[in-house]
Every structure is written in structure tokens, then in C-alpha cells.
């Protein structure tokens, strides 16, 4: 019978990865307990082992690129993954009573961290590097993304826009300053809201701490940028119906979300435990039925490859600023955050996940919608 190590080496070989090999993406193992943990816990065990310092790779995004292109995750599920699947099937993990958990556990961890990691407007979602002209820096990529959204919804001076999951207020500040718009932003993070109010001070922008299900009002446009991943499959139709009720009849809703190439009810087990509790990335098969007879599809734009650049830039910023964060967060957090950012970069590089912007209308735009890029 083959040992855990021998089985792991055979699986990794399919992706061209050699244990303790010379390639930059080869897995360098320092504690051989990793093999049994991976077969017991799947990707959860892989991530925990990295946090514990049991293994590494010189080029971590490329390691995940190689592993995901070869779909090695199919070879190791693990109990953690199976348990998460069962819970997701029978429990609404994104219910109203659970809505604020991700705010408390992720977005509230410290504005100091996000200030040094993100661009100057603190946009925590994929930048738009592939526009014309192409962006040359993270600041330019995020500015281009914000402007792209405003142009896609046809934002005009004096109009009102609701930002569902507004983060630190970056989009609403941009929309107010550059387009003369008025806005309301909602977030489940108290720390985000406090800084968003400070960032938008003096502008016609209101920031609320509330779940989307409780939002009231009527708006010319609605945008949701990087928040749909926290809604959950059991709530997708509720979400779309709620947005429809908040949008004026001739308004446009822009949904910006990470997308999955397969339908699932759960997130990666490691990401769920350590980074985004209760998160789920939607698939086309889930989005379609949820918005049926609720919204008209006007445009679907995919630019997931841009997230690789965004994440690697976030990592570079975080790593550069680490000496100022080290005392507060500690070395284990450093390895956790590195694994989070660079494993996700590898996922987008491998096209294992996508990034989508959907333009939706309530009644269909008479004469058609002209796609904006």
C-alpha cells in the first residue's frame, strides 16, 4: 500500500509539480505531516499546513496555477469540504441573522491593513487593467473600473445611486466628485462605515450599516461591487427581487461579482474558515434562474484575468507595509494573508474562477443597450 507521501507525489506530478524540486512553483516541504493532513482535510488542510509553515513555494501563484489547471482538487476532498457541503445544503448560511458575521470577521479586522494594501480610493474588488488605454498602476486600474461602472449605468449629475456593499465609500465618492451624483451606501461592517463616512465627508453621500434586505428607498441606479459573493444561493432570488424594488423603472442595475465555472453551494473550506465566512461564488446556472422574470440582461462582461494583477499588487503593497503591521497582526496572520492573496491570484490566472459585470434593467431598454468597455 502506498504511503500518503507517495500518493501526494503522484497527484502533484500530474500538474508538473515536484516535491522539493528546482522549479519556482515546486512544493517545498519542511514537515511531512502535511501529506496525511491533506488527505484528511483536503484544501483546508493544505492551507492550514501553509499557515503552520509545513510547506511553501517560491512562486505561490504559479503553484496554484499549475495545480488548478490540472484540477488536482478533485483528488483530495477531505472531511472539511464534505461537512461544509452538507451544512450549505440544509442551512441558510447567509440569512439575515448571519449577515454581519463576515463584516465582523473580515472587513472589521483593521482599516490600517486595508489602507496600505489597497489603492488610494480603497477599492477592494478587481481593477480594470484591460481597458483602452490599459492601466499601468493599481490606482489607474481602480479609477478605470469606477469610471467604467459609471459609464455603463449612464450616470448623470443629480441622479441617485445605491451602492450595495459600499466598502469604504470609494465608488460613491468617485461618482459624486466626477459625475455629480448623490448616493447611499450600505455595508455590514462598522469599521468600513466609519471610514466611509470620513472619506465622503462634505459630499451628498449617506452611509448605512444594514443588511440589503432591510434597505428602503428609490434610486435612479443600483450598483453592487464585490458583495454578491456574500449573498448565498438560497438568497439569490430574494436579492434580485429586493434590488428591483429599490430601482426606478428606467434605472440600471450593475452587478460586479466573482463567478464560478461550476455550480456549488459552498466556498473553498479554507477560505470559508479563515477569510470569508459563509461566502459562495455564484455560477451562471445559479444567477440565471434567480433573475428570471425579475431583470432583463443587457450586457455581460468578463474580465477575470485582471484579478490576477490586482491580487498580486495587493500582495506587493501588503508585503511592503508589513513592518508597520507586524506587531499588531503577527507572523501567522502574515502567512495566512499571503496564502489568501496569492492562492486567489493563481486561481484567476488558471481561469478557475471568473470576474463578471452584468448590466440589468427592469423592463428592457427600448432600442437596446450599447455595451460599454
Please name the residues in contact with 285: beta carbons below 8 A apart, sequence gap of 6 or more.
263
Q: What is the sign, positive or negative, of the torsion defined by CA atoms of 193, 199, 200, 201?
A: positive
Strand 205-209 versus strand 55-56 pairing type? unpaired
36 class by beta-carbon count within 10 Å (0-12 exposed, 13-18 middle, 19+ buried): middle
Residue 324: count other Cβ atoms within 10 Å of its Cβ. Answer: 11
The answer to whether 270 and 48 have CB atoms below 8 angstroms apart is yes
- Within 10 angstroms of residue 115's Cβ, the number of other Cβ atoms is 14
Chain-centroid distance, C-alpha 9: 31
Active-site residues, by number, are 344
> Cell numbers 479586522 correspond to what residue?
109
CA distance 109 to 101: 12
Query: Whole-angstrom distance between the N-terminal and C-terminal Cα of the chain?
Result: 56
Total H helices, total E strands in the chain: 15, 9
Amino acid at each position: 500500500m502506498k504511503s500518503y507521501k507517495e500518493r501526494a507525489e503522484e497527484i502533484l506530478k500530474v500538474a508538473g509539480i515536484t516535491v522539493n524540486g528546482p522549479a519556482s512553483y515546486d512544493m517545498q516541504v519542511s514537515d511531512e505531516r502535511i501529506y496525511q493532513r491533506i488527505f484528511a482535510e483536503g484544501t483546508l488542510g493544505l492551507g492550514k499546513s501553509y499557515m503552520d509553515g509545513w510547506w511553501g513555494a517560491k512562486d505561490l501563484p504559479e503553484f496554484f496555477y499549475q495545480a488548478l489547471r490540472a484540477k488536482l482538487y478533485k483528488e483530495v476532498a477531505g472531511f472539511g469540504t464534505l461537512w461544509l457541503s452538507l451544512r450549505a445544503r440544509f442551512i441558510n448560511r447567509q440569512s439575515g441573522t448571519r449577515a454581519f458575521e463576515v463584516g465582523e470577521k473580515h472587513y472589521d479586522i483593521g482599516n490600517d491593513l486595508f489602507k496600505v494594501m489597497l489603492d488610494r480610493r480603497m477599492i477592494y474588488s478587481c481593477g480594470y487593467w484591460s481597458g483602452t488605454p490599459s492601466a499601468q498602476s493599481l490606482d489607474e486600474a481602480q479609477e478605470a473600473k469606477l469610471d467604467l461602472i459609471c459609464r455603463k449605468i449612464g450616470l448623470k449629475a443629480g441622479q441617485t445611486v445605491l451602492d450595495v456593499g459600499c466598502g469604504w465609500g470609494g465608488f460613491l465618492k468617485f461618482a459624486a466628485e466626477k459625475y455629480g451624483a448623490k448616493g447611499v451606501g450600505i455595508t455590514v461592517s462598522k469599521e468600513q462605515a466609519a471610514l466611509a463616512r470620513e472619506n465622503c465627508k462634505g459630499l451628498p453621500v449617506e452611509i448605512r450599516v444594514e443588511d440589503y434586505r432591510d434597505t428602503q428607498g428609490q434610486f435612479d441606479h443600483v450598483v453592487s461591487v464585490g458583495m454578491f459573493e456574500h449573498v448565498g444561493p438560497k438568497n439569490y432570488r430574494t436579492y434580485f427581487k429586493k434590488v428591483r424594488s429599490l430601482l426606478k423603472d428606467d434605472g440600471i442595475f450593475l452587478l460586479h461579482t466573482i463567478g464560478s465555472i461550476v455550480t456549488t453551494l459552498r466556498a473553498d473550506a479554507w477560505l470559508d474558515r479563515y477569510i470569508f465566512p459563509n461566502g459562495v461564488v455564484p455560477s451562471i446556472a445559479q444567477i440565471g434562474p434567480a433573475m428570471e422574470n425579475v431583470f432583463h440582461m443587457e450586457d455581460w462582461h468578463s474580465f477575470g484575468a485582471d484579478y490576477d494583477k490586482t491580487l498580486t499588487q495587493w500582495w506587493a503593497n501588503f508585503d511592503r507595509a508589513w513592518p508597520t503591521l507586524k506587531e499588531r497582526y503577527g507572523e501567522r496572520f502574515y502567512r495566512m494573508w499571503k496564502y489568501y492573496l496569492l492562492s486567489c491570484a493563481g486561481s484567476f490566472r488558471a481561469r478557475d474562477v471568473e470576474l463578471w459585470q452584468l448590466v440589468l434593467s427592469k423592463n428592457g431598454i427600448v432600442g437596446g443597450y450599447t455595451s460599454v468597455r
